[in-house]
């Protein structure tokens, strides 16, 4: 079976959620011995991808996207897997698996700012009703998602006639997690974008209640967004803006900090959360169903807090981890929970699904 994986959403500098999901799946599927070809649109994406055969095609935001099958058909893939649901399919001669990670943009319609203006307009129009999503998903041979929470929402809103298959996110393998007996530094870590629904403002406001702590904002950020966030800090020196961080530095930070934190209003999975737990790092997160699913809701490894109370609940959760016995228990339980997810399992699920749809008559 010739499996093509759409890697055109992989970043060129540092991973975001979709980027890491794609790269990790490619690596795991390759380890399973599958015949994989990566689809890229920018050679710079290869920097964050494993070594594998690749084919360069047009960008997913190109006007050619509805007709991308014309570029793929001559290469005779059996199955194309896309980690997004928007891949073009007109005229395709292969089986197609599309992935929907979340329904965030139906409640939070502002699109990512780095998209071209025509794409942002189309994005808003696309999310005005569920009809375009239904049409998009029903044209695939199979539909996947990364969490049971999203799968249930898809069923609730009747987004597809296809069965919804789980191909979850997972943490990278961590061979040397932190020692639960070693108390953390007074550092808190946020990894994620700075879009409005991520509610990073609430983290900065909560930090005002924790004068001994530093909040590390690890992802790339614009100067304007940085200024907005720092303006909320009573002591701006407490906010450490990395504007992108290397994998090694990020992992070192995770292994010494008190917790990974997010007060997001919506998530499809929250990969940084389970990645932190794999290092034995506790997490403090907003009370979302998806965070309860991913973390298992295991207190004190994962403390689910009120996200918009001025930071009181959040600060109390941080203070709780200052107790050595509580922190040791939280660290050990976090590591234990993370072992419930693996990229090997996700790769096997993808390969089983691809094998199933290729065995069906067209």
pLDDT digits (tens, 9 = 90+) for 61-99: 899 999 999 999 999 999 999 999 999 999 999 999 999
Q: Is residue 28 over pLDDT 90?
A: yes
Angle at 361 between CA 355 and CA 362, to 5 degrees: 100
280 pLDDT more than 80: yes
Ordered alpha helix ranges (H), 44-147:
69-72, 104-107, 117-126, 131-138
Distance set, CA 262 to CA 7, 148, 245 (Å): 27, 20, 17
Is pLDDT at 22 greater than 90 in this prediction?
yes
Q: Are residues 39 and 142 in the same domain?
A: yes
pLDDT at 124 over 90: no
Between residues 323 and 268, the one the model is more confident about: 323
Are 163 and 196 part of one and the same domain? no
Say yes or no: 147 and 201 in one domain.
no
Q: Are residues 150 and 200 in the same domain?
A: no
Same domain for 23 and 40, yes or no, is yes
Residue 84 or residue 114, greater confidence: 84
For residues 202 and 55, membership in a common domain is answered with no
Q: At what angle do helices 17-31 and 271-278 cross, to 10 degrees?
A: 60
Mean pLDDT of the region 303-314: 96
Tell me, yes or no, whether 280 and 333 share the same domain: yes
* pLDDT mean across residues, the chain: 94
Residue with tokens 């194309």: 80
Q: What is the pLDDT of residue 23?
A: 97
Helix (H) or strand (E) holding 2: strand 2-6
Confidence of residue 148 (pLDDT cuts 50, 70, 90): very high
pLDDT at 116: 74
Residue 179 placed within a domain: no
Domain membership of residue 346 (yes or no) is yes
**pLDDT of the residue at 350:** 98
Q: Which helix (H) or strand (E) holds 276?
A: helix 271-278
253, part of any domain: yes
Orientation of helix 312-320 relative to helix 200-207, angle to 10°? 70
Q: Is the peptide bond before 300 cis (omega within 30 degrees of 0)?
A: yes
Q: Residue 243 domain-assigned?
A: yes
Q: How many domains does the chain have?
A: 2
Tell me, yes or no, whether 195 lies in a domain: yes
Task: Quote the pLDDT of residue 128.
Answer: 78
- What's the confidence (pLDDT) of residue 340? 96
Q: Of 14-18, 159-163, 336-340, which gets the smallest average pLDDT?
A: 14-18
Question: By the 8 A CB rule, do 46 and 54 touch?
Answer: yes
Measuring CA to CA, how many Å separate 53 from each of 74, 133, 248, 346, 361?
A: 16, 31, 26, 21, 28
Does a structural domain hold residue 181?
no
pLDDT at 109 over 70: no
- Structure token digits, residue 239: 């906010």
Domain that includes residue 13, residue range: 2-170+342-359
> Please, which pLDDT band fits residue 16 given cuts at 50, 70 and 90?
confident
The pLDDT confidence band at residue 234, using thresholds 50, 70 and 90, is very high
* Structure confidence at residue 278 (pLDDT): 98
Are both 353 and 332 inside the same structural domain? no
What does the pLDDT average to over 223-243?
97
Q: Are 119 and 77 in the same domain? A: yes
Pair of tokens at residue 36: 């994989």
8 Å CB contact between 259 and 282: yes
Among the listed ranges 36-40, 121-125, 137-141, 294-298, which one has the minimum average pLDDT value?
Answer: 121-125
Q: Are residues 315 and 348 in the same domain?
A: no
Mean pLDDT, residues 247-254 taken together:
95
Percent of the chain's residues with pLDDT above 90: 89
Mean pLDDT over residues 101-110, rounded?
82
Domain match, 61 and 157 both: yes
Q: Assign residue 123 the CATH number of its domain.
A: 3.40.50.2000
Residue 175 counted as domain residue: no
Give the model's confidence band at 29: pLDDT under 50 very low, under 70 low, under 90 confident, else very high. very high
Residue 193 inside a domain? The answer is yes
Confidence of residue 122 (pLDDT cuts 50, 70, 90): confident
Q: 150 and 23 in one domain?
A: yes
* Residue tagged 């695939």 (tokens): 140
Mutual angle of helices 200-207 and 223-230, in 10-degree steps:
40
């Amino acid at each position: 079976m010739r499996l093509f994986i759409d890697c055109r959403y992989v970043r060129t500098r540092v991973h975001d959620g979709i980027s890491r999901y794609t790269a990790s799946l490619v690596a795991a599927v390759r380890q399973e011995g599958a015949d994989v070809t990566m689809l890229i649109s920018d050679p710079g994406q290869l920097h964050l991808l494993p070594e594998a055969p690749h084919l360069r095609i047009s960008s997913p935001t190109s006007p050619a996207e509805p007709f991308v099958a014309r570029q793929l058909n001559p290469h005779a893939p059996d199955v194309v897997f896309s980690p997004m649901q928007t891949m073009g399919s007109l005229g395709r001669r292969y089986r197609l698996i599309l992935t929907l990670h979340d329904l965030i943009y139906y409640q939070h319609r502002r699109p990512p700012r780095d998209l071209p203006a025509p794409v942002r307009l189309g994005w808003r129009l696309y999310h005005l009703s569920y009809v375009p999503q239904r049409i998009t998903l029903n044209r695939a041979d199979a539909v996947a998602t990364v969490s049971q929470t999203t799968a249930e929402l898809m069923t609730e809103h009747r987004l597809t006639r296809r069965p919804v298959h789980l191909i979850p996110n997972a943490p990278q393998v961590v061979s040397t997690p932190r020692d639960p007996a070693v108390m953390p530094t007074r550092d808190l870590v946020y990894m994620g974008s700075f879009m409005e629904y991520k509610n990073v403002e609430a983290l900065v406001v909560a930090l005002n209640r924790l004068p001994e702590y530093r909040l590390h904002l690890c992802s790339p950020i614009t100067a304007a967004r940085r200024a907005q966030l720092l303006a909320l800090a009573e002591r701006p020196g407490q906010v450490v803006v990395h504007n992108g961080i290397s994998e090694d530095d990020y992992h070192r930070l995770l292994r010494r900090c008190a917790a990974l934190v997010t007060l997001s209003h919506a998530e499809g999975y929250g990969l940084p959360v389970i990645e932190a737990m794999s290092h034995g790092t506790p997490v403090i997160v907003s009370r979302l169903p998806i965070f309860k699913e991913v973390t298992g809701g295991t207190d004190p490894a994962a403390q689910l807090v009120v996200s918009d109370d001025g930071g009181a609940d959040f600060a109390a959760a941080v203070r709780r981890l200052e107790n050595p016995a509580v922190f040791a228990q939280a660290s050990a339980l976090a590591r234990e929970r993370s072992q419930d997810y693996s990229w090997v399992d996700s790769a096997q699920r993808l390969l089983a699904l691809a094998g199933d749809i290729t065995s069906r008559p067209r």
